[in-house]
Structures are given as C-alpha cells and as structure tokens.
Amino acid sequence: MTEIVKKDLLYKGKAKEMYTTNDPDIMWVHYMDQVTAFNGKKKVQMAGKGQTNCEISALIFKDLANHGIKNHFIKQIDSNNQLVKRVKIIPLETVVRNFASGSFEKKFAVKHLMKFDKPVQEFFYKSDELDDPFINDFQAEALKVATEDQMNQMRAIALKVNDRLKEIFSEMNIDLVDFKVEFGIDSDNQLILADEISPDSCRLIDRDTQKSLDKDVFRKGLGALVPVYKEILGRLEKVEDVK
Ligand code: TMP
Ligand code: ASP
C-alpha cells in the first residue's frame, strides 16, 4: 500500500474528525478527547479519552473481521488515529439490547436490567435537531434512508455483532446490556459495519460490582470516565483470542 497522507477535514462529529486522504477510498479518522451526551447538550474535554476509544474500537473491529463480519477498519496509525474504508453512512443507529436500560427502560417503565429472552432490535434516525427519533422500517423506506433489504441486512449483521461482543465481554467478566452500531455503503455498493464500537456506544456492567463501565458514568455523573475506559481497554487486551 502506498503511504497514506491525511488531507482535508471532511466532517467533524461529536467524538471524531474524518479526513480525506490521497486515496479516494480511504479516510483518516481522528478520535477526539471530547465526550458528549444527550445529543451534544452535555460536552466535556477529557485527556486520554480519544486514545482509549481508538484502541478499543480497533481491537474490536479487527476481531469482528476475523469472525467474518466485514467492516470499514483498515489499520491503526497511532494512538488517536486510524484508517478506514470510505463509506456513505446510512443515517440510522442500529441498537441491540440484551437487558432493559436507557430509553427502553424509561419508555416502558420496566425494571432496570430486566433480561430479555431474545435480543431486542431498534433503529433510530440520526439527527441531533430531532433528538435521534425512533424509526421503523416503513418510516425509513418512506424517507429513503434505507431499503427494506438494507434494514434486514443491518438487523442480521447487528445480531452477529451481538453474539461475538457478548462472548468477548463475557471473557472480561462484563454483561453487554446494549449497544449501537452504524453501517455504510462502500465503493463496491456493499453494506458494511462502520463508525466505532467502544464504551461510548455500548452499555457494559461489571458482573461482580454491577457498576457501569461505559458512557453512562458520564451521562449520570457517576465519576471519572477515562479510568473506566482504560479499565475496559486493559481487560480487552487480556482476552486471549482478541488480537
Ligand atoms: P438508549 O437506551 O439511550 O436508546 O441507547 C441504546 C444504546 O445505544 C446504548 O448502548 C447507548 C447507545 N447510544 C449511542 O451510541 N448513541 C446515542 O446517541 C444514543 C442515544 C445511544
Ligand atoms: N451520542 C449522543 C451524544 O453524544 C447521545 C448519548 O450518547 O447519550 O450526545
């Protein structure tokens, strides 16, 4: 591969900056030391946050690729930067839940961490202005956000991700409560997993202490976030078959 050089800032999100490179099919992702919640309404700078998420996400995406789940990850450049395949992001958040928490718990007034018999799947439309509303297949098709076939593909891939993530976190003595993933369409018109998988986008509960080891620590003001993310990275690095 010829040397990849970072070029122009294409998009700045709430946690990452995306740059073009000298290769039109490759993007340069910079993980920022910024954490937000409630669709950007709560925002804080935190040294070390970008690095831990960048490293956690790289390890997880590499592992998922090794388990047959195609994704955008190419390689880690340094602590805060990685190269990914350029995709057109589908503006949907695909959520999988194993236990009740967050918006599900609130919406249906059920017991915190009630275990589901099978994974619950939901989609949300990515829009800060609209507060990421829930969206169903008919609504997504009507808005031309995704086709029926794409919705089915996203659901199926998200379930495979759930199966593998549950295995990984189980090795880390952690229950995977829920998570969010995003998908994109690559230059071959294939739908692949994209964005990041990190404690920003998962809910993780330590099996011994029942404490949150994810962004809920920040959302609920439970303490310092970076040490918690470092704990996740440390445990992940010890999982035998995650390399
Ligand atoms: P929710 O319970 O707030 O709907 O969140 C479900 C999962 O999605 C949880 O793991 C946190 C994650 N999530 C994001 O990654 N980004 C978001 O903007 C939201 C609202 C949730
Ligand atoms: N991802 C959203 C934000 O960064 C919401 C959240 O995670 O709570 O503001």
The residue whose CA is least distant from atom 14 of ligand 1 is 201
My answer on whether 128 and 16 are in the same domain is no
Q: Is the CB of 37 under 6 A from ligand 2?
A: yes
Q: What is the pLDDT of residue 1?
A: 65
Here the CATH number for the domain that contains residue 77 is 3.30.200.20
Q: Which atom of ligand 1 is nearest to the CA of 122?
A: 4
My answer on whether 106 and 190 are in the same domain is yes
How many angstroms separate the Cα of 124 from the Cα of each of 48, 88, 134, 229? 29, 17, 4, 25
My answer on whether 147 and 78 are in the same domain is no
What is the rounded distance in angstroms from the CA atom of residue 47 to the CA atom of residue 54? 13
> Which residue from 32, 34, 35, 39 has its CB within 8 A of the most atoms of ligand 2, so it is best to mutate?
39
Q: Is the CB of 126 under 6 A from ligand 2?
A: no
The residue whose CA is least distant from atom 18 of ligand 1 is 39
How many degrees, rounded to 5, is the angle at CA 118 between CA 112 and CA 123? 80
With a CB cutoff of 8 Å and minimum separation 6, the contacts of 197 are 56, 57, 60, 61, 64, 161, 165, 179, 181
My answer on whether 56 and 114 are in the same domain is no
My answer on whether 118 and 78 are in the same domain is no
Q: Give one DSSP letter per residue of 191-223, joined into a string.
A: EEEES--STTSEEEEETTT--B-STHHHHTT-S
- For residue 240, how far is its CA from the centre of ligand 2 (angstroms)? 31
My answer on whether 148 and 204 are in the same domain is yes
My answer on whether 69 and 181 are in the same domain is no
Amino acid in position 104: F
Q: What is the pLDDT of residue 243?
A: 79
Q: Which atom of ligand 1 is nearest to the CA of 102?
A: 2
Structural domains counted in the chain: 2
pTM value > 0.85: yes
What is the rounded distance in angstroms from the CA atom of residue 55 to the CA atom of residue 82? 9
Ligand nearest to the backbone CA of 14: 2
Question: pLDDT tens digits, the chain, 243 residues: what are they?
Answer: 689 999 999 999 999 999 999 999 999 999 999 999 988 889 999 999 999 999 999 999 999 999 999 999 999 999 999 999 999 999 999 999 999 999 999 999 999 999 999 999 999 999 989 999 999 999 999 999 999 999 999 999 999 999 999 999 999 999 999 999 999 999 999 999 999 999 999 999 999 999 999 999 999 999 999 999 999 999 999 999 997
Q: Which atom of ligand 1 is nearest to the CA of 214?
A: 10
> Which residue from 12, 14, 104, 229 has its CB within 8 A of the most atoms of ligand 2, so it is best to mutate?
14
My answer on whether 60 and 94 are in the same domain is no
- Domain assignment of residue 205, given as a range: 88-223
Q: Which atom of ligand 1 is nearest to the CA of 101?
A: 2
Ligand nearest to the backbone CA of 13: 2
My answer on whether 99 and 211 are in the same domain is yes
Residue 242 within a domain:
no
What is the rounded distance in angstroms from the CA atom of residue 101 to the CA atom of residue 130? 21
Residue 50 within a domain:
yes
Q: Which residues pair with 204 in a beta bridge?
A: 176
> Which residue from 35, 135, 201, 205 has its CB within 8 A of the most atoms of ligand 1, so it is best to mutate?
201
